[in-house]
A and B are shown apart, each in its own frame.
Chain A
């Protein structure tokens, strides 16, 4: 199998990378770019631990093949904070104790990010439904939903001030 070159924007930076065409986006991110925030929980698109945002949509990186990244904009958990300041969602997860073992957390936050980017003020039920593709075995989900809700509430206030 011959390698091919893919170009895309990764966390705001233009990158060009040579990869085998059957490599998944997840493997490429984790092994070639050493961005290990996205995790492999099942390798079959069922657990959401590998969630990244591609062209504004939350996707399971284990189901995306590397060539599909060509020309796309990809955001991962590594790009969410600037290294010193956390994204409001990240802070909300800490404040609400919305994480335990942390393995699902990066994927969960990226799904929540995509959800809020599309709808800054989702309802409780919309949040519950929005993260239902991301499995968490530790928390029972309540505090995760509350964390996302707290950011939605901030957004709601923000909109009110507009």
Chain B
């Protein structure tokens, strides 16, 4: 291949290194108004009254809006939320009113003048407590909410989804086991922390046509949500996402767009803009849900795991319109990448008066693997085999069965494991760097599938220009992962023209074709396949015309360097440029007209799992498998963990762009390290105590260990050139690999993230290991 598999330079590179790419917050429009938001100071409170009169009297204030203007609930999978609180606030920081004013400062000042009377309600800030029968209900009307039929809310409780997986007979499995172990793990809330905070601008024309510019991963999903919420037909609603300064899932849903639209509708055509401050971002953008996990494992003496029983209790926060699906994904992936005959899982999405849980890179996988992968090491040690052996014995291989009973056809897990064992030199003991240091190496595996509706669709259009160049239109969003470049490479490969001859345009629901969402590590696979089909369609049209022009059969034609060439008579060829607008005959007449290639794609044959058991023979598009190895040191005096080296390997099907793929794996490792070592939203009575970079640290260059990444390529049949997604899976094994390596180093097992120096020291003290 000429372009697929090559490190083509990013097509958006120059715009980004010159600072000329315009992000939404960089937009300044004539007569623009600025929005500020009044937020609830209580985690759970009835709103008795909102008095905006004083705010409205402030010079420069144009409008104040509350939830009462639009009381219709919405949500992606479960319609449980309003963009502005209606009736009551369910978390601290929830938007209760919004101001539009001539400047940010005026809007902010006006917010202080809005008077809100609350009746404080008892709050529930622990998911386990929220499941108790007498717990305060966050959504007493849950039974009335519209929900997609693959989710199972339990009205009258705080459980918004109870996912069940019942494979085999877990009791029989435990009875056959030589050993049964039970371990508990806790993963706290963390946040995505894109460097660009959430931001959007909205403008409504006099004829009712609404335009929204948003930093969002999924313009079509946003359009759909806004259309439903505000009763605007889709042809009168245009969503554009000109650039996204990091997403990681946080910009997958619809959030602040819904706050500014009512103001735009009432501003007589003036654009309105809202950009979250970092503090807003911590409090009001999605957070990763907290997880209480219990894993019970039955294992035979020979290392074969015969039964697993999981209970996952997720702290979904105040609204779980998106969270219900994370809980489901975690449920059907709950066996991990292992072949286990008897699996029994209950995964609960639980409302609390906490910030809103939402999709975060990994979509539940990082959280459950923190338990699954530590549990494996614990079990292995108890029965006297190595962490590698237990994974080799139980790890999925072609011919095996997943937790939902799906036959595994393509799986490079063992190859990935081999690679990281090699790269981390797992068997080589190496000295620590000082007398107070202890060194440890360990591994972890992971898997993930795209979690999306079965029929999540992609499409692409490719227009050929009369000079032989092309425009590629997609709504797959380049949120940093490099999709613009990857889509260009795939089109270039099919058409055999250089990537510089293709301009990719994205993120405009009026002009670029449908894409379900840029999430789920599905873009290279799904949008890539649509681009492949669009380019093939353009090629087929070119061949129709070329066979007339050249007097050869189209089956004997091929694309070569900008030409359509006969494979039999190489001198018979015609340039793409000559056919791009149709075929012209010698008498000047023409046929066909411009070449426009169209590609559409839905992953084939994904079917709902059985409602009662969760079993399904093809419930997801594909699984991505991988492994990581970690080499680290623990300072026994300070408890400080220093990660020295991380090796990562994933089965990506087909590498499209090696350099950018390395970047995905490297970035994922650092993000995983952050959650493992220090990231945690400190929540107390529903209040976030650390909503700034001073108090919530993310990894810096100083934290970067030696990074070694590699790939395995077992092709995905339905992916473009065999490619499958990897951006999220790449983060999944990092935290448990670190926890396992800490155990190797100092013999302590930390079941709660993050692995802070305080916890390390306390655990060592408890084991009598410190002075």
Interface residues of A, Cβ cutoff 8 Å to B: 30-31, 34-44, 46-47, 49, 76-78, 80-81, 86, 90-91, 93-97, 99-106, 109, 127-129, 131-145
Give Cα A39 to B243, complex, Å: 13
With a CB–CB cut-off of 8 A, which chain B residues contact A38? 19
Give Cα distance in the complex from A106 to B26, angstroms.
13
Contact with A along B254-279 (1 / 0, CB 8 A): 00000000000000000000000110
B716 interface residue, CB < 8 Å from A? Answer: no
Whether B693 pairs with A103 at a CB distance below 8 angstroms is no
Q: Complex: how many Å from CA A100 to CA B19?
A: 13
Give the residues in chain B near A36, CB-CB below 8 Å: 19, 22-23, 25-26
A102–B11 alpha-carbon span in the complex (Å) = 12
Interface residues on B, range: 35 or more
Most chain B beta-carbon contacts within 10 A, residue among A36, A135, A140: A140
Q: Which residues of B contact A102 (CB under 8 A)?
A: 12, 15-17, 21, 243, 245, 480
A140–B663 contact, CB under 8 A?
yes
A128 to B701 Cα, complex, angstroms: 5
Report the minimal beta-carbon distance from A88 to chain B, rounded to whole angstroms. 11
> Could you tell me which B residues sit within 8 Å of A by CB distance?
7, 9-10, 12-23, 25-26, 28, 192-197, 243-248, 277-278, 479-482, 659-660, 662-663, 666-671, 692-694, 698-702, 704, 707
Query: Apart from A80-B18, A95-B9, what 17 extra A-B contacts exist at CB < 8 Å?
Result: A41-B197, A42-B278, A46-B692, A49-B195, A93-B17, A96-B659, A97-B659, A97-B663, A99-B13, A100-B667, A101-B244, A109-B17, A133-B700, A138-B663, A140-B666, A142-B666, A143-B666
Cβ contacts under 8 Å, A44 to chain B:
278, 692-694
A31-B28, A39-B245, A47-B693 given; A103·B23 CB < 8 A: yes
Cα A46 to Cα B677 with chains together (Å): 19
Which partner residue on chain A sits nearest B666 by CB separation? A140
The CA of A109 and the CA of B17, in the complex, are separated in Å by: 8
CB-CB nearest in chain A for B245: A103
Q: Which residue from B660, B668, B669 sits with its C-beta under 8 Å from A97?
A: B660
Indicate whether A86 sits within 8 Å of B660 (C-beta atoms), given known contacts A103-B194, A132-B700, A142-B704. Answer: no
Does the CB pair B195–A46 fall under 8 Å?
A: no
Contact B245–A94 (Cβ < 8 Å):
no
B195, A86: Cβ atoms closer than 8 Å: no
Measured between beta carbons, the chain B residues less than 8 angstroms from A103 are 23, 194-196, 245-246
Which residues of the partner chain A approach B13 to less than 8 Å between Cβ atoms? Answer: 93-94, 99
B12 proximity list for chain A (CB < 8 A):
102
Query: What are the residues of chain A within 8 A of B662 when measuring CB–CB?
Result: 97, 143
Chain A residues within an 8 Å CB radius of B244: 101
Interface pairs (8), CB distance under 8 Å: A47-B278, A101-B194, A101-B195, A103-B194, A103-B245, A106-B17, A139-B663, A141-B699
A77 to B10, CA, bound (A): 19
A142 to chain B, nearest CB (A): 5
* Cβ–Cβ contact B19 & A137, under 8 A: no
Look across to chain A and name the residue whose beta carbon is closest to the beta carbon of B478.
A101
Specify the chain B residue showing the minimal Cβ separation from A35.
B19
For the complex, give the distance between the alpha carbons of A37 and B19 in Å.
4
Query: In the assembled complex, how far is the CB of residue A57 from the closest CB belonging to chain B, in whole angstroms?
Result: 19
- Across the interface, name the chain A residue whose C-beta is closest to B658: A97
Q: Is the interface of B mostly helix, strand, loop or mixed?
A: loop
Nearest B residue (CB) for A109 = B17
| A140 partner, pick from B194, B693, B707, beta carbons under 8 A | B707
Q: Once bound together, how far apart are the Cα atoms of A95 and B7, in whole Å?
A: 9
B17 in complex: contacting residue of A35, A86, A141, A143, CB < 8 Å? A86
Q: Which residues of B contact A46 (CB under 8 A)?
A: 692-694
Known contacts being A94-B9, A95-B9, A137-B193, is A105 close to B16, with CB within 8 Å?
yes
B663/A145 in contact, CB under 8 A: no
| Min distance, Cβ A22 to any Cβ of chain B, angstroms | 10
Minimum C-beta distance from B293 to chain A (A) = 26
CB distance from A143 to the nearest CB of B (A): 6
The answer on a CB contact under 8 Å between B701 and A141 is yes
- Contact of A138 with B9 at beta-carbon distance under 8 Å, contacts A41-B278, A86-B14 already known: no
In angstroms, Cα B709 to Cα A134, docked, is: 24
* A145: chain B residues within 8 A (beta carbon): 701, 704
Contacts of B28 in A (CB 8 A): 31, 34
Chain A residues near B23: list those with CB within 8 A.
36, 39, 103
A95 to B10 alpha-carbon distance, docked (Å): 9
A132/B692 in contact, CB under 8 A: no
Q: Given the complex of chains A and B, what is the CA–CA distance between A142 and B670 in angstroms?
A: 10
Query: CA separation between A91 and B16, bound complex, in Å?
Result: 11
> Could you tell me if A37 and B18 are in contact, using CB atoms closer than 8 angstroms?
yes
The 7 A-B residue pairs whose C-beta atoms are closest, nearest first, are A37-B19, A101-B480, A103-B245, A102-B16, A100-B480, A140-B666, A46-B693
Chain A residues, CB < 8 A from B20: 37, 78
Find out whether the CB atom of B277 lies under 8 angstroms from the CB atom of A129.
Answer: no
Q: Is the CB of A140 within 8 A of B669?
A: yes
Contact A90 B22 (CB under 8 A): no
**Minimal beta-carbon separation of A34 from chain B (angstroms):** 7
Q: Which residues of A contact B17 (CB under 8 A)?
A: 86, 90-91, 93-94, 99, 102, 105-106, 109
Contacts of A136 in B (CB 8 A): 195, 701
What are the residues of chain A within 8 A of B480 when measuring CB–CB? 100-102, 138
Q: Which of A39, A76, A80 has the most CB of B within 10 A?
A: A39
Question: A138–B246 contact, CB under 8 A?
Answer: yes
Given A97-B659, A102-B243, check contact A140 B668 (CB 8 Å). yes
Given A47-B693, A131-B701, A141-B670; A101-B663 close (CB under 8 Å) = no
Least distance between A51 CB and chain B CB atoms (Å): 11
Distance between B14 CB and nearest chain A CB, rounded to angstroms: 7
Across the interface, which residues of A come within 8 angstroms of B669, CB to CB? 140
Residue pair A39, B18 in contact (C-beta under 8 Å): no
